[in-house]
A and B are shown apart, each in its own frame.
Chain A
């Protein structure tokens, strides 16, 4: 009984809180293929460490394994957080190697990529167990009401993982962050262009808030 009370006091103590704040938060970048997860993770890495860490391209499933950039310090005004960036492969319910042929890949390359991509999806789902917070990246130029988006958001909610939605590619003419907000009115939706940097200042403010919850 006494031991339990002491344990609780320590739990709530200043020292404990201090260590808790120092804890590095693993921030996962989740979403469907080609939403711009790697472009966003790279931009963050570039902005705060002066170096990228993952490859981004217009071919779907470019990221086929979880990529981690450790100890990135995000600063905005007088606020500062240390995070591990966890770039995950795009989640899909199906992978067709013929889709890669349309992007100019040879048959063998396309098949190899498809095989790796299936493993990537499994890894991304498994990694939900390891992340402390998530940036859900959606393509603001596409219909957001897809089963993959619904499944990811549902899993984040049911697992109690704090998240924000980055409505990416707002530099494109047909993109609309407003449409994403309409579809997900109760979530924090931030319009950004990871490619051009538009909206990134506000995104960093929200990312720091998110990490503080994580």
Chain B
């Protein structure tokens, strides 16, 4: 059975790191990074871009990324508003090890390969 390690990455440390370094952390080991903040859309896009830059057909397919946010009111608009407030947790994992991360209000479903 493949091992999966979960690593806490403070947002302040994440901010100081280049996207390439973040992707390398996930790529080299089967890690799931937990960042105690909802990333902003540009940060998410940069990570996706870097993951695609680092993608290797055989060895690295990309990432799974999702955020858990506390939803107090109904509707996705509120959900997005919560996103904007940087309230939440971000999970980033290696897509070779994780099949899917689905975020729902207050929790996430993680499917491991």
Contacts and interface: CB of A to CB of B under 8 A. Distances in A.
Interface of A: 91-97, 111, 114-115, 118-119, 121-122, 125-126, 128, 145, 147, 150-151, 153-155, 157-158, 182-186
Contacts of B95: 93-94, 96
B51 A154 contact: no
Contact of B65 (A93, A111, A158): A93
Contacts of B45: 125, 128, 151, 155
Interface residues of B, number: 27
Interface in B56-79: 57, 61-67, 75-77
Nearest to B51: A93
Contacts of B67: 147, 150
A185 B103 CA distance: 19
A158 B40 contact: yes
B55 interface: yes
A185 B61 contact: no
Do most interface residues of chain A lie in helix, strand or loop, or is the interface mixed?
A: helix
A94 to B, nearest CB: 3
A154 B44 contact: yes
A121 B80 contact: no
A184 B76 contact: yes
A157 B41 CA distance: 9
Interface in B8-28: none
25 contacts: A91-B48, A93-B48, A94-B51, A94-B55, A94-B61, A94-B64, A95-B62, A96-B95, A111-B57, A118-B52, A121-B49, A121-B52, A122-B52, A125-B48, A125-B49, A145-B103, A150-B80, A151-B48, A153-B41, A154-B41, A155-B42, A155-B44, A158-B40, A158-B42, A185-B76
